Homo-oligomer: A and B are copies of this chain.
Amino acid sequence: MTEHNETATRILDAAETLFAEQGFTETSLRSITARAKVNLAAVNYHFGSKEELVQAVFERFLTPFCRRLDKALDELMARSEQSTTPNLEGVFGVLARNMLSGVESARNDNKLSIFMRLLGLAYTQSQGHLRHYLREHYDATYRRFILLIHQSTPHVSPNELFWRIHFAVGAAVFTMGNVETLRAMALNDTHQDNTLENILDKLVPFVANALSEDRDH
């Protein structure tokens, strides 16, 4: 699974980029192997099938991400042991810091964009096998995160919170996954270029405020 193979890595790099740009089905194995400069048959040799390649792409960034997130959540809970309810900003801060932690240099902004775009595709492009795979491997961390958010906003009913969280997920996935397109539109409309940090600075309060808001519903 997690061998440090030269060819396999090059395939994963190429696939990750092309999948994010074009989607899964519209990206052919031939275009992947051409970009990776490896032989066509290398994909089936190293990964078995195209479906397993898709899963491997997700695994490469989702597994370390969830491992780091789990550990960070452990620390957060240990620190706030006495106060039984963790606070929302803390939980979200942990998530945000984890998402940005893979992005050190300023110019691979697009790493985060690719990340979000792939997550969006996982929802949008049915790809039944992918949804099954993700549920099987990462559902535990997901549920734990949801539970913590719930505990940190006890005044919001579980059902109401569920939907607010997914409104927020939608806002994040949609905008971050289509950053280039939207940035171009914003440049036309408001004559102002936006760095990814700028956009995140608008997104985070949007989400935080909307999640905890105590509304009459």
Contact = CB atoms under 8 A, between A and B. Distances in A.
Interface stretch (A22-30, A74-82, A83-91): A22-30
A192 to B, nearest CB: 5
Contacts of A126: 21-23
A210 interface: yes
Nearest to A192: B159
Interface stretch (A3-11, A52-60, A96-104, A197-205): A197-205
A182 to B, nearest CB: 6
Contact of A174 (B123, B189, B217): B123
B158 A189 contact: yes
B162 A190 contact: yes
Contacts of A173: 170, 174
A121 B124 contact: yes
Q: Size band of the A side of the interface? A: 35 or more
Nearest to A168: B171
Main secondary structure of the interface of A (DSSP, over half): helix
A46 B23 CA distance: 28
Nearest to A205: B215
Contacts of A151: none
Contact of A23 (B124, B159, B170, B209): B124
Q: Which 5 A-B pairs have the closest CB atoms?
A: A170-B174, A167-B171, A159-B190, A170-B171, A158-B190
Interface of A: 21-23, 25-26, 120-121, 123-126, 131, 143, 146, 158-160, 162-164, 166-175, 177-178, 181-182, 185-186, 189-190, 192, 194, 199, 201-203, 205-206, 209-210, 213, 215, 217
